[in-house]
Amino acid sequence: MRSEQSQLCNFLLAQQRIRNDLGNDNSVWGLTESWFWQILCYREYLLSNKTPAISAKPDAESWGAQLRKGCLELAILATLRHEPLYGLDILRALARSGLAVGEGTLYAILNRLRTDGFVVSEWRDAGTGHPRKYFTLTESGRGKTTAMAKAWRELSAQMETVLETNTRKVSHERAK
């Protein structure tokens, strides 16, 4: 328990350091209080903490699950980029991409996105006897999707570089 409290305290201190660096205007990022902000804070926390927070043992699976959770918002927004969809269509599109998502998770994220003004919803008669709730990206939702996709590509490229560099280094050292 004491270790968890210490880690939380270190994380909050790291978050405060980032806020101080950015000043009070976090809108510079256009992603205030979003997944990107959380990644920045967690990165700062890891850099300032002497003990690794991610273990290569059983916790690697839970780390992968947390990473996946952090990407779901972008995946949902990207799914809505071309046309309005209802919940089951979104679930199917994500599943086709290999991202199986629970219905409860999907609707919780959609509700938050709707509250934040990134999507709107409307009931439509689909000719099946019961109306379906369709979700559509707003203009700010399109902007958020574009910004998140750009951040994802940049981070992904940086991680590929790090992983490739370290893989080559290990291979080179083994060859000696």
- Shared domain for 38 and 88, answered yes or no, is no
Identify whether residues 163 and 76 lie together within a single domain: yes
Same domain, 97 and 129: yes
**Do 85 and 39 fall into the same domain?**
no
pLDDT in tens, 57-105: 557 778 888 888 889 999 999 999 999 999 999 999 999 999 989 999 9
Per-residue pLDDT of the chain (176 residues; tens, 9 = 90+): 456 566 655 656 655 655 555 555 444 444 444 555 566 556 555 656 545 444 445 577 788 888 888 899 999 999 999 999 999 999 999 999 999 899 999 999 999 999 999 999 999 987 878 899 999 999 999 999 999 999 999 999 999 999 988 777 666 666 66
**What pLDDT, on the 0 to 100 scale, is given for residue 106?**
96
Q: What is the tally of structural domains in the chain?
A: 2
Sign of CA dihedral 149, 86, 91, 37: positive
Verify that 28 and 88 share a domain, yes or no.
no
Q: Largest alpha-carbon pair distance within the chain?
A: 70
For residue 126, what is the domain's CATH number? Answer: 1.10.10.10
Whether 63 maps to a domain, the answer reads no
For residue 60, being part of any structural domain is answered with no
Q: What is the identity of the amino acid at 116?
A: D
41 & 90 share domain: no
Do 87 and 36 reside in the same domain of the chain? no
Residues paired with residue 125 on neighbouring β-strands, in sequence order: 131
**Parent domain of 84:** 71-176
The pLDDT value recorded for residue 128 is 79
Classify residue 61: in a domain, yes or no: no
Pairing of strands 85-86, 119-125: unpaired
pLDDT at site 52: 47
Residue 125 CB contacts under 8 Å (≥ 6 apart), including other chains: 131
